[in-house]
Structure 1
Amino acid sequence: MPTFALLIASNLFMTVAWYGHLKFPDARLWVVVLASWGIALIEYSLAVPANRIGYASGLSGGQLKIMQECITLAVFAVFAIVVLKEPLTWRYLGAGACIAGAAAFTFVGRN
């Protein structure tokens, strides 16, 4: 559970670092790059322990990556709706369901 919580927190920061600047189209590029790097440092400070804890508790590297990607997509979907004011259409929901189904194969049959 700590791995999951840390990955959610890290993805919140990374989504803001990668996409938050889109709300400020007039900001200078070097400013948004430096701001994004600063935010990404926080993300790394959460993601690295999350992966170490998860790996030590028996998750494989592949499982950690798939978990991180699914969390990334879920966090981004909320960010896109709330911050960027983009609609969540049935196509995105269908794609998300397919990705979740594909991710489930990574965890099937774990000992």
Structure 2
Amino acid sequence: MSGTYTIALLILSNIFMTLAWYGHLKLQQTGTSLHWPLIGVIAFSWAIAFFEYCCQVPANRIGFVGNGGPFSLVQLKVIQECVSLIVFAIIAHFMFQGEALRWNHLLAFCFLIAAVYLVFK
């Protein structure tokens, strides 16, 4: 069950992370943050990133084999990267309509799946 909690928290963490890293660009496009000073944009992103850490840290603690979880450190990192790219692709598709997935992106995802397979072997 800790593996399920870990992955769920990693998904939630990466939603917050993607919004913190790229959400301000969407706000700029809509004109909401167009005239914010850079320090304001940074503070806004940090406020969102706080919730990312509130999910990321427990995910790693729950999932780490040294704490009774099912995943090694390397496995946790590879899972996090795959989740990060999947969440990014979904959010980018909906928030930035002009960002399309191309064949090379899909091929890269296939390589990531292969990486996950190899890490778990």
Indicate the TM-score class for this superposition, using the shorter chain for normalisation: over 0.9
Tell me if 1:28 matches 2:28: no
Could you say which residue in structure 2 is the equivalent of 1:100? 113
Q: Report sequence identity in percent.
A: 47
**Offset at 1:72?**
0.1
Separation (CA, whole Å) in 2 of partners of 1:91 and 1:35 = 33
- For residue 57 of structure 2, what is the aligned residue in structure 1? 48
Query: Alignment partner of 1:88: what SS?
Result: coil
What secondary structure does 1:24 align onto?
Answer: helix
Q: Which runs of 5+ in 2 are unaligned?
A: 29-33
Higher mean alpha-carbon deviation, 96-105 vs 36-45, is at: 96-105
- Structure 1 counterpart of 2:73, one-letter code: G
1:1-111 pair list within 5 angstroms: 1-25=4-28, 26=34, 27-55=36-64, 56=67, 57-85=69-97, 86-108=99-121
What is the distance in 1 between the residues matched to 2:70 and 2:88? 27
> How many matched pairs?
108
Deviation at 1:63, TM superposition (A): 0.6
TM-score (norm: length of structure 1): 0.92
AA of the residue aligned to 2:91: F
For residue 96 of structure 2, what is the amino acid of its counterpart?
A: L
Moved more, 52-61 or 73-82: 52-61
